[in-house]
Structure 1
Amino acid sequence: MMGRDIIQRMKEVAGFGSSTSDTGKGKSKQSARRITHGFHLVKGKSRHAMEDYLVAQFRQPNFWTNPEEAVMKAYQMTDETILDKSGELGRGGSTAVTAILIDGEKLVIANVGDSRAVLCRKGAAKQLSVDHEPDKERSEIENKGGFVTLLPGDVPRVDGRLAVARAFGDKSLKKHLSSKPHVKVQMIDSNVEFFILASDGLWKVMTNQEAVDAIRNIKDAQTAAKRLTEEAVSRKSKDDISCIVVRFH
């Protein structure tokens, strides 16, 4: 899952269309437990084109023998590709959160920026990703020659511009930014009910526990994902909102 204007340019270059909303679902029988996923995304009220984009796919068991190392390398390559193609894609950047589920038992979460992964275990929300906020990484940014601003009524920003401390792209700020993902491994037992991947358009208006509570009794993953986006809109979220729900049955 990725956000911000770089995604719109990537879709245009790749020949993908743009829409104000999208939804879908899928299922897998590759593990002992039945696993389903559903997704939904809606465009915010801003005047720019839809920035959020998501992908959900099932792969064969044991797809990677070392998924942690693979996802670190994938993030690095993604950042390098975006920077190399900045002439086509523009000088903007993107956040991302990804989930790799291996054999229905091992979950590898990685993220840069403020897109978030939250797991529900026996009704309790557990955040698996890290929000990369500039004020929390001030020392690292300043050691690279950058600075963090905090103006009245605004959020902390790198060099007075970017509200996240880690991101893909953003060529003009790259000397002061990291694209290294936070990686978390979570084993899936019988008490895990589902997990949510969503952009900050959701998390700006809902806590982790509120999101879990809102969909815990919704068994269809697609309906659950749509419910979360609708709730965020009803709470006056103005940002683009994208959401994937993966449910264990």
Structure 2
Amino acid sequence: MILTDPFVYFQKDFWTDTENAIRNAYRSTDAVILQQSLKLGKGGSTAVTGILIDGQKLVVANVGDSRAVMSKNGVAHQLSVDHEPSKEKKEIEKRGGFVSNIPGDVPRVDGQLAVARAFGDKSLKIHLSSEPDITHQAIDDHTEFILFASDGIWKVLSNQEAVDAIKSIKDPHAAAKHLIEEAISKKSKDDISCIVVKLH
């Protein structure tokens, strides 16, 4: 999972056409990962990114089930979209793939991948998308922090539970560490990555 900007391939039109620049950066990142699949392996990655502009506007983009959550007055607000195969079944089928729904398991693309969008995953790429969803959020005096985390957090904690677990911890590094430890204590079996950005 990529938690911070994949924008080593930043587009020069970032300030004039932010959304298009982000989409191009995601496409470029996916292309580089695919080109290096022999070295990196056949797997893939989800991603969530956040760009704060002038301290007032937050632009969040993501592919897959890595998630951004904002705490405002102690209330959790999800800023990203979880790309679940069941929600994008028609698009996957248009690309020639299928979504399995075996009892006791989560829906999977071609019976394998539990997300509909990702970087990499070369063997499934023809049926997957790396196109990000992008949202814009106003940052004001009531915004306390932004939490970026992989699904290892979200499989065992709700958005509000995650916010409640760290809202009294002032140091963002300590807050992220505490949230990771909380997920481990709840027996999370997925990848766990987390960044906390404190505001004001």
| TM-score normalised by structure 1 residue count | 0.74
CA deviation map 1:120-146 (0-9, x unaligned): 111111100011000010011011111
AA paired with 1:109? V
CA deviation map 1:6-58 (0-9, x unaligned): xxxxxxxxxxxxxxxxxxxxxxxxxxxxxxxxxxxxxxxxxxxxxxxx558xx
1:88 to 39, 48, 59: 39
1:135 to 63, 82, 86: 86
Residue 193 (structure 1) shift: 0.7
2:139 to 184, 188, 191: 188
Indicate the residue corresponding to 1:222 in structure 2. Answer: 173
Does residue 157 (structure 1) correspond to residue 157 (structure 2)? The answer is no
Structure 2 SS opposite 1:72: helix
Q: Count residues in correspondence.
A: 192
Residue 64 (structure 1) shift: 4.0
Q: Flag the structure with more relative contact order, 1 or 2, with Cα contacts below 8 A and sequence separation at least 6.
A: 1
Distance 1:151 1:104 in 2: 45
Task: Give unpaired runs (5+ residues) of structure 2.
Answer: 6-12
Distance 1:143 1:203 in 2: 29
2:66 to 112, 115, 122: 115
Distance 1:125 1:135 in 2: 25
Within 5 Å, give how 1:5-16 maps onto structure 2.
none
Q: Percent identical across equivalent pairs?
A: 66
Task: Say if 2:4 and 2:50, in contact at 8 Å, map to a contact too.
Answer: no
| TM-score normalised by structure 2 residue count | 0.91
Distance 1:188 1:132 in 2: 25
Structure 1 SS opposite 2:193: strand
Indicate the residue corresponding to 2:188 in structure 1. Answer: 237
Distance 1:83 1:161 in 2: 18
Which portions of structure 1, spanning 4 or more consecutive aligned residues, are displaced by more than 6 angstroms? none
Residue 89 (structure 1) shift: 2.1
Residue 221 (structure 1) shift: 1.0
Task: Give unpaired runs (5+ residues) of structure 1.
Answer: 3-53, 57-62
RMSD: 1.5
Task: Say if 2:145 and 2:197, in contact at 8 Å, map to a contact too.
Answer: yes
